[in-house]
Structure 1
């Protein structure tokens, strides 16, 4: 019941904050996706600052926030499912671990936390993946695109009608694989850093068993940096696979060298192979800079606000429990 209460609190309290934070960094999110799928033979965006200026000049202020509405709608169920799943998975894994070791006082190890975080990420991502897929397409389309999605529901119904239900899960496999290092490392690094700081108290940073908000923010930032850097190439491949088969795509998506014909991928490995072959290894990290600017503080705030809200409202189970 406490875990259910925690998830409900996350949905009611954290989701509005998530939507506000996502809206604040929406231009960076759109810039990241455009850089990820940009045709290397038809360069429009040479970097974050130049790209944002180009969007402002060609699409106006609203262009900076294209796709943000769908992203906010996705965050509400995603956040609740993720944190609820993490606490349930942690309890289940800890119970099995205690039974296996015969030690009722055993605690979760970093590897077990990694597993619990990965389970939570996969469940949450899978539940909301169709919304993420159409959000990517809405974000990529420009004013010059030959066809326009009018919104999330129009995009969902159009993709279903023209490409079939399987199209809503294009890029799902690299997303699942990427969840393991991304969400798993986020939780594992965050919790492990907290435990280490409390037990070792380096440089006098910790005076008692409770970490300050600033210290917890630093733990969250470190977790976000490590997780997103390791998993980023899979995110690039995910976005490129989402664009395949879209006959109305603008020429901004990655092409075959002629600038208009989008590459077709037979699967994740084929997408990796073609991306590296045509554009080099560095293409797997396109858009990393704007992504880092928005992701690292976002993850840090998400962890801290979640624990603080539960403390204020008296929910005893913490993420680390």
Structure 2
């Protein structure tokens, strides 16, 4: 999710020469990974609550978002809010790294080789980058969801390695690690695409119409204009909110399918269509397909703020501008 733009009137290419591009992909990989880890660590407690609400954990099923945030530390200790975050960090570094790097690569291919211009290339590149990152890191997301769903005193898995071992042995080998992949991919395409599209469009409009107000020179290249931190926060928050609203029911289906054997009546979550139909019939739209969405809106602002701010900082530290 590149967030730079050339200063109006500057003719110097913002990416530099081939020599300056040496190991560019590696530096971009690191920048995306660090940004992802920082963002996810910031909102880890909210992510745990979201999983508990989405899958209707019986210990917290009668509670709302803020009630669960208060109840988890009382029942499981403060670190209970970060249960599964270790697995998340193992997953999110390659996920963020692959997504950011893939987006830049896909965007260049779409523009340079296929001649696709305008804002549509962001939508396409974002969708493909999101799908690529999901497929590469999905087993780690599965493990993280299983660990986060556990409640103190009822542990089924001792840790990340044990979860891998048990799922592989009891749930069909490697296929067990990809339960819920279909709704994840279907949901990720519009989510990532809309996120990149909305943010990129807002960025372009902002830097085109009010570059001195909304932008500032990059610390590693004064010829490149980047968004100010508070503008990153605003644009990222809007993009995340829109994308979440569109794709959230598929995220609920994904979590249900991932948890599978951890839930009663696991056969009801065998396919995406069965899962969506069951959740809708049993709980409706507001308390089923969109249960926990308010939490995602609350997560959106701090997550995007940390992600974009960190990524922008890392781009400058690693001389990516």
The question of a shared fold, defined as TM-score above 0.5 by the shorter chain, is answered with yes
Aligned positions of 1:116-127 closer than 5 A: 116-127=125-136
Count matched residues.
Answer: 293
- 2:8 is the counterpart of 1:8: no
User: Higher strand fraction: Structure 1 or Structure 2?
Assistant: 2
Residue 223 of structure 1 is matched in structure 2 by 239
Aligned positions of 1:1-321 closer than 5 A: 5-13=23-31, 15-38=33-56, 44-98=61-115, 108-145=117-154, 147-164=155-172, 165-201=174-210, 205-206=213-214, 210-244=226-260, 246=261, 249=262, 253=263, 255=264, 261-262=265-266, 264-282=268-286, 283-316=288-321
| Stretch moving more, 206-215 or 281-290 | 206-215
For normalisation by structure 2, the TM-score amounts to 0.82
Post-superposition offset of 1:95: 1.7
- Greater than 6 Å deviation, 4+ residue runs: 1-4
Residues 33-92 of structure 1 show CA distances to partners (whole Å, capped at 9, x for unaligned) of 0000006x8863411121122212221122111101000110111111111111111111
The secondary structure found in structure 2 opposite 1:187 is helix
For normalisation by structure 1, the TM-score amounts to 0.82
The secondary structure found in structure 1 opposite 2:269 is coil
Gaps of 5+ in 1: 99-106, 256-260, 317-321
- Alpha-carbon RMSD: 2.5
Gaps of 5+ in 2: 1-17, 217-224
| Stretch moving more, 81-90 or 295-304 | 295-304
CA distance in 2, matches of 1:16, 1:227: 23
CA distance in 1, matches of 2:275, 2:138: 19
Post-superposition offset of 1:4: 7.5
CA distance in 2, matches of 1:83, 1:14: 6
Determine if contact 2:60/2:68 at 8 Å carries over to the other structure: no
The secondary structure found in structure 2 opposite 1:264 is helix
